[in-house]
Structure 1
Amino acid sequence: MVREFPGATPVILLFLFCLAQFLDSFNNSALFSAIPALEVSMGMTESQSTWIISGFQLTFASFLLISGRISDVYNPKTAFVGGVSGLAVISLCAGFVNDTIPLIVLRALTGIASSMTIPSALTLLVNVFPDPLEQARAIGLFGGCGCVANVLGLMIGAMFVEWTSYHFVFWFVTIVATPAALACVFIIPPEISNTKGNLEPAAAKWKSLDLLGITILTAALILFIFAVTSGSTDGWASVMVLVPLIISILMVIGFFCWETIIPADKAAIPPRTWFYHNFSVLFGVALFPFLWWSTVFSIFTTLWQNVFEWSAISSAVHMLPIGVAAFAISFTGPLSRMFSPKWIILTGLSFCMVATVLLALGGGKSEEYWPYIFPAFFVGSAGAMLAYTHTNIAIFQAAPSSMAGTVGAIFNGALQFGSAIGLAGVSSIETSVEAKHGGSHEYNGRAATFWFLFAIMSIEFISVSIFYDRSTDHRPQPKHGDPGNPARRSTDSDEKINDTIIEKADLADLPV
């Protein structure tokens, strides 16, 4: 079942949401191709160029939660349009900047604008596609656009750098985001907004944001990601790493203590959230997919361009199997309604484990691309996309639709969080091994990072095998405040299913 809205079809709305996802991923990946040109043009040091990427990731991950709360409490259309518009304006300004510090600041602001688009887009998407099967398809395509943008971003960024200027990497975002923002204003109908939230008075909405809790957690995430990002360049024992790391951990503990004190309906992340069925284990799986893709991108773009001396375009072309496999798998969303997400996620992790072994054993020479790297890219990207897509679908089915913005923020925060922490660990392992075994022109350090990834995936595989509970697969989403206790639901399951069907029918019949 798909809700119909005047002046817009669900396909057009889905296209707009996917376009925002594409721009967010493009904003990050395209800069990988432009970093060498930026270093030469602005005289950047290696640590400064790292912050061109890390500045975006830091603010994007840190501001997701407040964006999700705004989307749940207020009209998500406003947050979505504001985020896309912000991307257009900030990217336009970034294209004219020729100094390092202002560019890093603008990249951080870009991360904030991007964080406004994802939870709001997911809130809108869940409301447009309330039927579980249609919702699974839509979420799969939404995620697939982000994965394809990662590879196309490398390609488009390389073409701009080779044929025009790195400035067009920023201006491309403005060229696409400006008409998209205008289209969103007129095409996205206000009826998609959270009905419950619209009925609340302004004062109640403001209190529901939990500004104190969000501020504590946002500051903690900024300090934590800053610490782990700086650890690979400044050293893990440095004051610049240890102090923010310790403070961030204490602030996270303080945040969860605060969330248990205030009323659940006023909390940014109500404690019951973690007790929705399989929510915690799905959160753990979400830490992995972006880490796998980011590690592959960072290792092979550096290897091919700095060691093999390939051009940026040639490196991007050799990455195409990753995007092709990811996009193909993005259409597998309906499988989650036929099979348990547990088996699909385990299959995806198995594919990634096989691919990671191939990358660890081969890849040190250019002639090893076809026997090792090419099949590993296909199999590994397909596996990561399976895990990503069906974890995304399952986590939205585990929690009430009224929490879609918050759940989207938690899920996407886990993706970025896992990538940031994992890349810091990967970089440290690679550097330490290379220092003892031949330097950066040898493959030993890179192989060690892939064995590290293999160990992480093995832990993920075991955790999902043991802790994922299949008893609630294909059940209706829990209502707001219901932790989804299977014992409670089994006694009156028919009544709850009928209530859910009636509620959805009522929603479909609302005048629009």
Structure 2
Amino acid sequence: MSFMSSNTSAPATAPSVASGAASGAPDHSSRRWWTLSVVALAQLMVVLDSTVVNIALPAAQADLGFSDADRQWVITAYSLAFGSLLLLGGRLSDLMGRKRTFIIGLIGFAVASALGGAADTFGLLVGARALQGAFGALLAPTALAVLTTTFTIPKERARAFGVFGAIAGAGGAVGLLLGGVLTENFNWRWNLYINVFIAIIAVIGAMIFVVNAKRVGPRPKLDVPGTILVSAALFSLVYGFSNAESDGWDSPLTWGYLAASAILLVVFVLWQMRAKHPLLPLSIVLDRNRGAAYSSVLIAGAGMFGIFLFVTYYLQASLGYSPIQTGLSFLPMIAMLVLAAQLSTNIFVPRFGPKIMVPFGMALGAIGMVYLTHLGLDSTYAADVLPPLLILGFAMGSIMPASMQTATLGVDREFAGVASAMVNTSQQVGGSIGTALLNTLAATAAADYLAAHLPTTASVAAEAAVHSYAVAYWWGAGFFAFGAILSALLFKRRAHSALSSNHTPVATDAEPVLAH
């Protein structure tokens, strides 16, 4: 499938826009950047929610009195609902209209957050987190689809995706900082209540600035069998990796769910080949550049997990940082990520393309991870922690915007939502894989270290923890190194031509007439 749609052409699109302006139709170019602000706010809310609750978990456990074994379900309930419903959420945005779906997602996420914040039992908290995940699965791909169909001029598209990619990469670190501030100065419930205020602002902005496209042609139908198959497959995949994290890789339940996921995915692909109204046309993912972009987002998601999780553990448990100090420690990384994202999308990607920039970012990520392996109990922030965080920030700023922009470029407007959902799905699956693998490897390394350094004292236990983090960093470096090789091989040499062309990519600009 090429970047250009075979059904429309650029010359045919331009007069429609021009005539709209000439006839006195409202000029939507002035509101595009306000639309970006609204979309970015919604994306930030979804992304930071994956980490902001982690900081609040110990306080919530003490307040509601649930066990250590049950604690994981506060996180798992969200990830299961979010990961399994992403493709459905993306497709619903194509069918229902993106403005309507976007607002429904915001309101639903706010209501679920309020329920979680007011929860007086463990069951209600877990149920609210699952509801958050469901509406997050509706909101996240819709936000990216709105961005994809709003910004069609290549230079503006590059700037917009630079901002969006920076938020996607930095939201987790923002969540750590915000979670620390709210937990220390208020209480754990405000880690959920904060979403209500963000959503209210975003809903108002969406009602004013986000526009709906007039539907062209008959209303498409939902692929119900495909939806059931892929939702069950993704649920099994995420649950399998979550179970591996809690019960280990020798658990029959872990391999049972992973095997079920593989079988369901195969059946889903076979069904998509013959479905009249496929949920996910295979041409979207089989396009070489988009496939490279999706795989890059997945690998980067798996590698990034090691940064947030194990550096957080290290700063708090090994160096004695408070939650707020830990969050502040990630701010330079966020600043570097934002800087790199803007440089990448405005200068480097148009000049070099994703075939150069994504492998370059992956290689930097591997270097940053290797740097982290040298951390010890006597390390200092300025000399030992800050440099690798800056390197990793620049790495993610080089990987995410280029990959996300390429992943949605050239997709027919009818499937912009589900194509956007594939980006979120890749990131979610990558995070699940990273969670399970790195946690298991780190736990095994710590146990082996303790067994080899008997008797166990406090200092030996502290050294074992640092050693386990180093093992996780080495594996994270391996993820990034593999991503560098894979992306260099998969991305086409001329992939950047569509990103830097002076002409609007037609498949993305398939809705020239916009109306409220």
Q: TM-score, normalised by structure 2?
A: 0.87
Match for residue 122 of structure 2?
Answer: 100
Kindly provide the CA deviation profile for residues 42-99 of structure 1, in whole angstroms up to 9, marking residues without a partner as x: 2333342222223222221221101111122331111100011111111111111132
Match for residue 150 of structure 2?
Answer: 128
In 1, distance between residues paired with 2:289 and 2:274?
A: 24
- Aligned counterpart for 1:167 among listed residues 189, 196, 204: 189
Match for residue 9 of structure 2?
Answer: none
Match for residue 292 of structure 2?
Answer: 281
Q: How far is 1:120 from its partner?
A: 1.4
CA spacing shift, 1:476–1:300, aligned 2, 3 Å: closer
In 1, distance between residues paired with 2:89 and 2:326?
A: 35
Mean Cα displacement is larger for which, 433-442 or 90-99? 433-442
In 1, distance between residues paired with 2:503 and 2:371?
A: 50
- Aligned counterpart for 2:357 among listed residues 335, 344, 354: 344
Whether 1:404 aligns to 2:382 is: no
Q: Mark the runs of 5 or more structure 2 residues left unpaired by the alignment.
A: 1-13, 451-459
In 2, distance between residues paired with 1:417 and 1:441?
A: 31
Q: How far is 1:217 from its partner?
A: 0.6
CA spacing shift, 1:56–1:81, aligned 2, 3 Å: same
CA spacing shift, 1:107–1:337, aligned 2, 3 Å: same
- Give the number of aligned pairs: 481
In 2, distance between residues paired with 1:448 and 1:7?
A: 50
CA spacing shift, 1:141–1:281, aligned 2, 3 Å: same
- Aligned counterpart for 2:320 among listed residues 284, 309, 313: 309
Whether 1:372 aligns to 2:393 is: no
Q: Equivalent residues in 2 for 1:25-40 (5 A)?
A: 25-40=47-62
CA spacing shift, 1:194–1:245, aligned 2, 3 Å: farther
Match for residue 273 of structure 2?
Answer: 260
The one-letter amino acid of 2:209's match is I
In 2, distance between residues paired with 1:51 and 1:320?
A: 29
Whether 1:423 aligns to 2:453 is: no
Whether 1:14 aligns to 2:36 is: yes
Alignment check: 8 A CA contact 1:58 1:225 kept: yes
Mean Cα displacement is larger for which, 10-19 or 30-39? 30-39
In 1, distance between residues paired with 2:209 and 2:176?
A: 31
Kindly provide the CA deviation profile for residues 146-184 of structure 1, in whole angstroms up to 9, marking residues without a partner as x: 333322221121111111111111111112212321332
Alignment check: 8 A CA contact 2:301 2:427 kept: yes
Alignment check: 8 A CA contact 1:301 1:315 kept: yes
Match for residue 455 of structure 2?
Answer: none
Match for residue 318 of structure 1?
Answer: 329
Q: How far is 1:283 from its partner?
A: 1.7
Kindly provide the CA deviation profile for residues 185-231 of structure 1, in whole angstroms up to 9, marking residues without a partner as x: 343233xx3633xx424xxx3x3x21110111111111111111111
The one-letter amino acid of 1:11's match is W
In 1, distance between residues paired with 2:60 and 2:120?
A: 9
Match for residue 394 of structure 1?
Answer: 406
The one-letter amino acid of 1:31's match is V
CA spacing shift, 1:298–1:378, aligned 2, 3 Å: same
Alignment check: 8 A CA contact 2:445 2:468 kept: yes
In 2, distance between residues paired with 1:502 and 1:286?
A: 22
Whether 1:195 aligns to 2:218 is: no
Match for residue 116 of structure 1?
Answer: 138
The one-letter amino acid of 2:141's match is P
Q: Which SS does the other structure have where 2:233 is aligned?
A: helix
- Aligned counterpart for 1:446 among listed residues 464, 469, 494: 469
The one-letter amino acid of 2:285's match is W
- Aligned counterpart for 1:299 among listed residues 289, 310, 314: 310
Q: How far is 1:342 from its partner?
A: 0.9
CA spacing shift, 1:79–1:365, aligned 2, 3 Å: same
CA spacing shift, 1:29–1:468, aligned 2, 3 Å: same
Q: How far is 1:476 from its partner?
A: 7.9
Query: RMSD between aligned alpha carbons?
Result: 2.7
Match for residue 436 of structure 1?
Answer: 448
Match for residue 414 of structure 1?
Answer: 426
Whether 1:217 aligns to 2:240 is: no
The one-letter amino acid of 1:195's match is R
Q: Which SS does the other structure have where 1:367 is aligned?
A: coil
Q: Equivalent residues in 2 for 1:458-477 (5 A)?
A: 458-475=481-498
Q: How many percent of aligned residue pairs carry the same amino acid?
A: 21
In 1, distance between residues paired with 2:186 and 2:398?
A: 37
Match for residue 7 of structure 2?
Answer: none
